[in-house]
Amino acid sequence: MPNRPLKFIISGGGTGGHIYPAIAIANEIKRLHPNAEILFVGAKGRMEMTRVPEAGYKIIGLWISGLQRRLTLDNLSFPLKVISSIRSSYKIIKEFNPDAVVGVGGYASGPLLYAATKLEIPTLIQEQNSHAGITNKLLANKVDRICVAYDSMYKFFPNAKIVMTGNPVRQDIIELAGKREEAMTFFGLNPERKTFLVIGGSLGARTLNQATEKDLQKIQQSGYNLIWQTGKLFIPTAEAAVKEYAKDQFFASDFIKRMDLAYAAADVVISRAGALSISELCLAQKPSVLVPSPNVAEDHQTKNAMALVQKEAAVLVKDVEAGETLWDTAIALANDEDKQQQLSHNIGLLAKPHAAQTIVQELLKLIR
């Protein structure tokens, strides 16, 4: 270990599912080594360029994006973007001179990690999903360590490099005890009622939003509160819809920064099945109805969800059926205390509260 402050680059992003694990890793590095220097590298125009500075870290953006499934101008410029981003990555690494580089998936992590491996800098990637992302699969043979959250990842990665760590999540979600009263005040909800929480990921989820808007009257008649995270595109529609109902029963927002309070308030959660969402639900030990997004590579959200359903740790509603059955299923679960206790117990068994610590320990081993 060098006799000076350690330096790390953390790269990746695109969605909260990549960004928040990256920030959790950075926070753990800072906890262990307060003088460490940490630089993030993301993709220009993506949400990490806002969220990372909000968390107190510096970030540099690369000119990079993913391949679209149809022919677009973006696809035509893709090779140029890759070459430009690799060149920029070499420059960033040589100027910053990190002791190790971490990739969390997403567009920016590919060029940055590729350059780091060529420069023989210790590298670690963190794969959140049960089905590996294309960037991480391409990097697998080049990096030194691969931290995963699901069994059977040897299907995608060299077994000797894999370490089972779980997904790192925000520390405040691990510490929910005693926050319910604060949560009800924060969201302006009636504390006498139980509460549904609807989360569609950091960008929102059209299916969950449309099903919720359609059944607002049904939710109101159930006697439960609703905390509804919509994403930016749907918030005008949601705000107009909830105006019809009591303010102390329905809360809608495009983005919830205090997710710890949202989980503390929730009795039943309705969620997409992104890896980060599932890791948070395991730690929060919340009875959940999962609606996997069909619009993701290799249908990995369904695989994520089934890993819980097979252990009787969550309820599954298919995306195509959500419009008709989602809220009947959720309300039935909310009225079944025994089922809630079973789901809560079983999902809690899958939690890995020390994931960030384990990943950082692996990172520090590479430096030693």
HEC string for 295-342: CCHHHHHHHHHHHHHCCCCCEECCHHHHHHHHHHHHHHHHCCHHHHHH
Has 15 been labeled as part of a binding site? yes
The pLDDT score that the predictor gives to residue 133 is 82
Query: Regarding beta strands 250-253 and 315-316, do their DSSP bridges make them parallel or antiparallel, or are they unpaired?
Result: unpaired
pLDDT at 161 over 70: yes
Question: How far from 10 is each of 110, 111, 151, 208, CA to CA, in Å?
Answer: 12, 12, 24, 32
Question: How many other β-carbons are positioned within 10 Å of the β-carbon of residue 139?
Answer: 25
Residue 368 marked ligand-binding: no
pLDDT in tens, 162-212: 999 999 988 888 889 899 999 999 999 999 999 999 998 666 689 999 999
301 annotated ligand binder: yes
Domain annotation for the chain: domains and CATH numbers: 7-167+353-367 (3.40.50.2000), 172-348 (3.40.50.2000)
Best CA proximity match to 275, nearest among 251, 297, 260:
297
Q: What is the pTM of this model?
A: 0.84
**Residue type for 309, please?**
V
Q: Is the four-CA dihedral 294, 299, 300, 306 of positive or negative sign? A: positive
Look at residue 134 in the predicted model and tell me its pLDDT.
83
**Which amino acid is it at 133?**
G
**Model confidence band, residue 65 (pLDDT cutoffs 50, 70, 90):** confident
* pLDDT band per the 50, 70, 90 thresholds, residue 69: low
Confidence band for 273, pLDDT divided at 50, 70 and 90: very high
Is 72 annotated to bind a ligand? Reply is no
Q: Does residue 75 register a pLDDT over 70? A: no
Residue type, 169: V
Residue 178 annotated as lining a ligand binding site = no
Residue 76 binned pLDDT confidence (cut-offs 50, 70, 90): low
Residue 367 assigned as binding residue: no
The answer on pLDDT for 67 being more than 60 is no
CA distance 199 to 230: 7
Query: How much is the mean pLDDT over the chain?
Result: 92
DSSP E strands, 99-144: 100-103, 123-127
Q: Dump pLDDT digits (tens) for 139-154.
A: 999 999 999 998 889 9
Average pLDDT for 86-91: 95
pLDDT of residue 63: 86
Amino acid 351: pLDDT: 92
